[in-house]
């Protein structure tokens, strides 16, 4: 029996029990932004641009509504909806899961999650906030942008953490592991668009349109591939997994590492969607010396493949971020480096690229639940595939964005 068939009854049970819950805890975010930009056509409109949108003016960045339903002292049902003005259908389901976290009897704390959710590797968010939205900047790093666009855990995750304070120690450490399916096309966007810088979150039932590249046109070498991709489908019937380690010291240092493998069979194609074999290693660190400076670092290296080496791409990215309080807000600087290197058999379908990005942001707190965030973003990249659609291989995308965020 597949994970979706196992999880569907659990979610239906949670909904049926919700009237019996002690009370639903609602939270949300409304993000309205104004933007000036000179970037190329965005990937959200079937281009090869690196930023979320190249259109200037006033827009809805994100609207998020999350519900947490306590079903017992240890079990909670969570659902998150996300809306934006660059999504087909506007509103999409972002996450839906059950979590079980019994009160620990000793220094070991156990937690289980079942449903659809993000893997917990994003250093750019605070986990008491809403899901995958960056808290110091408007855009996310290339690593976390890609995970928000293409990855979702659709299965079961178990974690075990040793709490140092229960044993009089400043050291916490833990392990986590998950089994999942339904994410077989992950890697499609990374291979044919490349890395991106933004904060867009793909809805679970949403399809994304690829740029009009020759390789998957009716007369192309991979004409079985549709130009629309459905990222969270199960195609090959095989479960993937990830496993991770984490460590923290006295609230000042957090470190994590993860290995991810969707175990996709790249030879399988169903309903014009290929299964991609995508695997990566990830490491992250966060340092908060003296409670003022916030220093973040993440690194990722992996590969993705579809067909009989028709598309085979090695990818790598890292970023460093520094944030510090300034006045009634916080000033943040982030620098990204990213690249892909192709190792496939189709020279007429170039998938290699090299690029970097720099973001400067200031988040001003107007009130405890209201903030004004301004970000200057610069993305430079070189990608040969742009020549196939009439654009220059080297591009420089720039934007100045101001976001008014209300959180409740």
Helix and strand numbers, DSSP H then E, in the chain: 3, 20
Query: Residue 405: what pLDDT?
Result: 94
**DSSP structural state of residue 197:** B
Q: What share of the chain is helix, strand, coil (3-state, %, to 5)?
A: 10, 50, 40
Rounded Cα–Cα distance for residues 86 and 31 (Å): 14
Q: Does the pTM exceed 0.85?
A: yes
Rounded Cα–Cα distance for residues 50 and 349 (Å): 19
Query: Residue 39: what pLDDT?
Result: 78
Query: Residue 138: what pLDDT?
Result: 95
Q: How far is CA 157 from CA 98, 112, 181, 241, in A?
A: 11, 6, 12, 9
Answer yes or no: are the C-beta atoms of 119 and 146 closer than 8 Å.
Answer: no
Can you give the pLDDT of all 408 residues of the chain as single tens digits? 343 443 443 344 344 444 544 588 999 999 999 999 987 888 888 889 999 877 788 988 989 999 999 999 999 999 999 998 887 777 889 999 999 999 988 899 999 999 999 998 888 887 655 678 898 999 999 999 999 999 999 999 999 999 988 888 999 999 999 999 999 999 999 999 999 999 999 999 998 999 999 999 999 999 999 999 999 999 999 999 999 999 999 889 999 999 999 999 999 999 999 999 999 999 999 999 877 899 999 999 999 999 988 999 999 999 999 999 999 999 999 999 999 999 999 989 999 999 999 999 999 999 999 999 999 999 999 999 999 999 999 999 999 999 999 998
Rounded Cα–Cα distance for residues 313 and 311 (Å): 7
CB within 8 A of 262, min separation 6: which ones?
Answer: 180, 183, 184, 186, 240, 276, 277, 278, 279
Query: Residue 7: what pLDDT?
Result: 43
User: What residue ranges do the domains of the chain occupy?
Assistant: 3-407
CATH of 3-407, one of 2.40.160.10, 1.10.3720.10, 3.40.640.10, 3.30.710.10: 2.40.160.10
Rounded Cα–Cα distance for residues 31 and 59 (Å): 9
Answer yes or no: are the C-beta atoms of 118 and 132 closer than 8 Å.
Answer: yes
3-class DSSP assignment, residue 327: coil
User: Quick one: tokens of 370?
Assistant: 């209201």
Rounded Cα–Cα distance for residues 62 and 84 (Å): 5
Query: Residue 70: what pLDDT?
Result: 94
Q: Where are the beta strands (DSSP E) in 13-136?
A: 25-37, 57-70, 75-83, 91-100, 108-117
Rounded Cα–Cα distance for residues 150 and 189 (Å): 7
220, HSE (Cβ side, Cα atoms, 13 Å): 19
DSSP assignment of 117-155: E--S--TTS-TTS-TT--SSSSSPPHHHHHHHHH--EEE
**DSSP structural state of residue 102:** P
**Bridge partners, residue 279, by sequence:** 261, 303
Query: Residue 22: what pLDDT?
Result: 56
> Between the CA atoms of 365, 368, 369 and 373, what dihedral angle is there, to the nearest 10 degrees?
10
Total residues belonging to the chain: 408
3-class DSSP assignment, residue 191: helix
Task: Please give the angle made by the CA atoms of 309, 266 and 201, to the nearest 5 degrees.
Answer: 110
Query: Residue 57: what pLDDT?
Result: 86
Task: Please give the angle made by the CA atoms of 134, 228 and 65, to the nearest 5 degrees.
Answer: 35
Query: Residue 18: what pLDDT?
Result: 47
């Amino acid at each position: 029996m597949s994970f979706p068939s196992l999880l569907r009854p659990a979610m239906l049970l949670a909904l049926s029990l919700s009237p019996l819950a002690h009370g639903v805890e609602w939270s949300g975010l409304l993000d309205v932004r104004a933007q000036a930009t000179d970037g190329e056509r965005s990937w959200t409109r079937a281009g090869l641009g690196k930023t979320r949108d190249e259109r200037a003016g006033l827009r809805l960045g994100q609207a998020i509504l999350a519900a947490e339903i306590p079903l017992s002292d240890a079990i909670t049902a969570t659902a998150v909806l996300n809306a934006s003005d660059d999504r087909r259908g506007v509103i999409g389901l972002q996450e839906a899961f059950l979590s079980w976290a019994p009160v620990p009897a000793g220094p070991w704390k156990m937690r289980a999650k079942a449903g659809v959710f993000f893997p917990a590797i994003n250093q750019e968010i605070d986990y008491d906030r809403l899901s995958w939205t960056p808290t110091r900047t408007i855009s996310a790093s290339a690593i976390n942008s890609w995970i928000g666009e293409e990855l979702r855990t659709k299965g079961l995750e178990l974690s075990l953490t040793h709490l140092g304070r229960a044993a009089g120690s400043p050291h916490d450490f833990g392990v986590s592991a998950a089994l999942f399916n339904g994410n077989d096309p992950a890697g499609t966007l990374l291979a044919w668009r490349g890395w991106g810088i933004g904060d867009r979150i793909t809805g679970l039932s949403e399809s994304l349109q690829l740029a009009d590249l020759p390789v998957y046109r009716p007369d192309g070498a991979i004409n079985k591939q549709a130009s629309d991709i459905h990222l969270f489908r199960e195609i090959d019937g095989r479960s993937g997994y990830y496993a991770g380690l984490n460590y923290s010291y006295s609230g000042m240092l957090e470190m994590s590492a993860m290995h991810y493998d969707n175990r996709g069979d790249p030879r399988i194609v169903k309903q014009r969607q290929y299964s991609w074999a995508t695997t990566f290693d990830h490491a992250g660190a966060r340092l908060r010396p003296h409670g003022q400076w916030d220093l973040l670092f993440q690194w990722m290296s992996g590969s993705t493949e579809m067909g009989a080496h028709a598309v085979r791409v090695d990818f790598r990215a890292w970023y460093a971020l520094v944030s510090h309080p300034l006045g009634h807000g916080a000033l943040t600087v982030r620098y990204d480096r990213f690249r892909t290197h192709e190792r496939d058999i189709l020279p007429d379908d170039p998938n290699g690229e090299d690029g970097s990005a720099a973001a400067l942001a200031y988040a001003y707190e107007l009130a405890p639940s209201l903030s004004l965030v301004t970000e200057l973003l610069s993305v430079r990249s070189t990608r040969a595939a742009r020549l196939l659609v009439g654009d220059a291989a080297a591009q420089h995308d720039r934007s100045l964005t101001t976001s008014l965020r209300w959180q409740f």
